[in-house]
Chains A and B, each alone.
Chain A
Amino acid sequence: MNLNALLQFTAFIAVTILLMLPLGAYMARVFSGEATWPGKILDPVEGFIYRMAGLRAAAQQSWTEYAGALLIFNFLGAGILFLLLMYQEMMPWNPQHLPGLSVDLAFNVAVSFMTNTDWQSYGGETTLSYFSQMLGLTVQNFLAAATGLAVAVAVIRGFTQREKRGIGNFYVDVTRAVFYVLLPLALLFAVFLVWQGVPDNMQPYVQATTIEGASQTIAQGPVASQIAIKMLGSNGGGYFNANAAHPYENPTPLSNFFQLISLVLLAAALVMAFGKMVGDKRQAWALLASMTILFLILFALCYYSEANGNPAFTAMGIDPNITDVNSGGNMEGKEVRFGIFNSALWATLTSATSNGSVNAMHDSFTPLGGLVPLFNMLVGEVIYGGVGCGLYGILIYVLITVFIAGLMVGRTPEYLGKKIEAHEIKLAVLAQLLYPVCVLGFGVVALLSPAGATSITAAGPHGLTQAIYAYASAAANNGSAFAGFNGNTVFQNIMLGIVMLIGRFGVIIPVLAIAGSLSAKKITPVSNGTLPTHGLMFVVLLTAVIVMFGGLTYFPALALGPIAEHLSTFSGVLP
């Protein structure tokens, strides 16, 4: 890694930590119901909202009531979005007169944005009106992130409360997530993005006549507001087809720097909030350490692989060296202003979190460079993870880890004073097993059926990787793609839609059940027999469990896809 890359990396880590600490403390206050300074303005607003909705803010919900409210709220929103997309042409703010979406595409988009996946089998600027982007997608960008935050907070309560039936109130958690956390951050970020060059207007697409006299139509729209929440809420659905590679979505190295930070900011801050709420910050640092170990290894692999470039290019006399004047490396599907370093860092982070936005095209990455985002999604996006889902995702791994550790020493496993028993482990494993079922089960159906296989555009191992990537992305609610894969067929729109639903709610419901069951338990005091969950040993154990789950479950698929592609052509090992 050259000096400049090292500087950028250090700055990225430093600024992220600097922002994550106060934000984490603030979020802990918000979700514990403590006084905050925005509360002076927002308290009466909140009261008014709850009265309108016929809610008592103090009313606690049991986990089943909480899950019920979550499902009704989410599916209601998705249903309305579905109708809005289908009848897009009847809505206002459609200067390009874009028609309504087909049933299967509208279903896929509605599910995709509700589940925080933001998989896009359409190109934004050629498909959606300003009305659909704002009142349809921007709304879901907020609500999907708020839902994730709510679930994570409910799980934290499971650990902090003693012998209680309720795990909080879903409506209150969502409202607070939107008003106290997401809205103010997004507004600030949107204005910053406009300053950097992201457009925000309602004009029709601009007709330009280029210097050489050709005509160029330049798409416009209310871009900045949507991009801000797309990044902060780990949504990742681009306004434009090219997502954050589009110069209107991510115009400068500075906009890229802060978008990179926004990929992980809320997820990392929530881990800090978790530490504060359970009253033991060392627990939060242990989780962050485990995440960071994996992140560093994976990022190094991705950067190294992309920086080395494509041997076929080098053989043609193309300069692969990264210097101050030459882009170098594998620049197919990458932008000059970002270069190899920022493209590799983004790819690693967008899949480590559940964001799924891209500033370079993953399909054109080198085999091992593309393996990194795929691996990140397969282990369930727990390396920082999405807003909310990252935290509850890694807590599932934590439960499994303390269980395995408990088996090894022959004691009842505990975490944060709560006994982890058969009931919780069954639920944790259920949530964990859904990923392989979705990726390998549904993925295989897609590979073997003629209707599914037509979506694959690449030959050989790369084609297999395209398909696995699509199903991993849907199951993990990521939304990035090996975009050569044609997702916009009736078959894929429906299959991937179903996988997204399972990947989202098949995890959320067991997680809430765990929260409910833990909440009802006593807190046992720490004794000699308690496994410390903040030390180096636990960090190593947790990291090993994550790698084993991800690595072993999917190793055959990875071996036949990216690893075979690498060995056969890149390393020159096989003919």
Chain B
Amino acid sequence: MFRELRASLTLFVLFVFVTGLGYPMAALYLGQALFPHQANGSLIQEKGKIIGSTLIGQNFTGNGYFHPRPSAAGNGYDAANSSGSNLGPTSADLIKAVGDRVADLKKAGGAVAIPVDLVTSSASGLDPNISPAAARFQAARIAEARKMDVAKVSDLVARNTEPRTLGFLGENHVNVLELNRALDSLAPPLTQSSP
């Protein structure tokens, strides 16, 4: 019994140092040395201020911006509290929430079929992307708010659409933050972009 305890304890302490300290530190130093931008969270700075991360979705409510998906992380896009809605497919709350979102979009958008990602909350609550269909769906609203040509907005969406990796992995998607930054650099942000 004493022999077993000694063996177990020695091995455990050793593994704590090797797998709990040595290994994470090795990965951390390699990561920081080789890919510092990614290792530090793929943050975006503008004029010395951090405005977010390419990988982490953030909320946009103004009419002049592309809107992201609904989010169940905290009060919405809380990047220190990721979460899906975890509502079941037959949940009355889910059906009502989606129904309300659809009604809002129909009021603004017209008769086009509604892209499903635009009215459902993502798994993480931090999905940085929307589908190309969801981006195009919003083009008219943005063109009107920014007094731009719809074709120009659609063109911007097409240029910012990230294709499937290697042509077949994952799905085509548009990064909302990148798209909105491109939009701002194309046409200066409006001072009044209230919802």
Contact = CB atoms under 8 A, between A and B. Distances in A.
B171 A338 contact: yes
B79 A69 contact: no
Given A8-B169, A126-B81, A332 B89 contact: yes
Nearest to B91: A458
A73 B12 contact: yes
B116 A313 contact: yes
A186 B20 CA distance: 12
Contact of A55 (B7, B19, B26, B42): B7
B138 interface: no
Contacts of A72: 4-5, 8
Nearest to A73: B8
B186 interface: no
Given A319-B115, A332-B94, A458-B88, A247 B126 contact: yes
A125 B80 contact: yes
Contact of B39 (A199, A333, A367): A199
Interface residues of B, number: 108
B184 to A, nearest CB: 7
Interface string A103-145: 0000000000000000000010110000000111011011100
Interface string B68-105: 01000100011111111111111110110011001000
B152 interface: no
Nearest to B69: A336
Contact of A123 (B5, B40, B83): B83
Contacts of A224: 27, 31, 39
A483 interface: yes
A178 B19 contact: yes
Given A195-B35, A200-B32, A484-B86, A319 B122 contact: no
B10 interface: yes
A206 B95 CA distance: 35
Given A54-B3, A327-B171, A178 B18 contact: yes
Contacts of A339: 170-171
A318 B6 contact: no
A337 B170 contact: yes
Interface string A352-372: 000000111101111100000
B88 A210 contact: no
A210 B12 contact: no
Contacts of A257: 165, 169
Contacts of B84: 242, 245, 333, 361, 363-364, 483
A225 B116 contact: no
Size category, A interface: 35 or more
A252 B60 contact: no
A211 B60 CA distance: 8
A4 B164 CA distance: 10
Interface string A45-87: 0000100111100000000000011001100110010000000
Given A242-B125, A326-B133, A569 B90 contact: yes
Given A316-B102, A325-B136, A337 B16 contact: no
Contacts of B125: 242
Given A178-B18, A208-B52, A359-B123, A194 B39 contact: yes
B20 A364 contact: no
A219 B80 contact: yes
A72 B4 CA distance: 7
B124 A212 contact: no
A217 interface: yes
A228 interface: yes
Given A138-B19, A201-B41, A245-B124, A123 B82 contact: yes
A201 B52 contact: no
Interface string A231-264: 0000000001110011110011110110000000
A512 B60 CA distance: 57
B11 A171 contact: yes
A68 B5 CA distance: 10
Contact of A218 (B80, B113, B124): B80
A218 B39 contact: no
B86 A363 contact: yes
Given A201-B40, A364-B86, A334 B122 contact: yes
A197 interface: yes
B55 interface: yes
B94 to A, nearest CB: 7
Contacts of B40: 199, 201, 203, 220
Contacts of A317: 102, 106, 113-114
B19 A183 contact: yes
Contact of A212 (B65, B114, B172): B65
Interface in A480-513: 482-484
Contact of A134 (B20, B32, B35, B106): B20
Nearest to B123: A245
B53 interface: yes
Given A76-B5, A210-B52, A313-B98, 19 more contacts: A8-B168, A54-B3, A54-B6, A139-B15, A139-B19, A174-B11, A187-B26, A211-B51, A229-B19, A246-B126, A253-B169, A312-B89, A326-B131, A327-B117, A330-B89, A337-B171, A360-B123, A462-B91, A484-B87
The list of the 9 closest CB pairs from A to B, nearest first, reads A253-B170, A245-B123, A194-B31, A339-B171, A242-B124, A242-B82, A319-B113, A361-B84, A225-B27
Interface of A: 4, 7-8, 11, 49, 52-55, 68-69, 72-73, 76-77, 80, 123, 125-126, 134-136, 138-139, 141-143, 171, 174-175, 178, 183, 186-187, 190-191, 194-203, 205-212, 214, 216-220, 222, 224-226, 228-229, 240-242, 245-248, 251-254, 256-257, 309-310, 312-313, 316-320, 323-339, 342-343, 358-361, 363-367, 457-460, 462, 465-466, 482-484, 565, 568-570
21 contacts: A54-B3, A72-B8, A135-B21, A194-B38, A199-B41, A209-B49, A210-B52, A216-B58, A225-B27, A229-B19, A245-B84, A312-B90, A319-B116, A325-B132, A326-B131, A327-B115, A332-B85, A336-B171, A337-B129, A361-B85, A462-B90
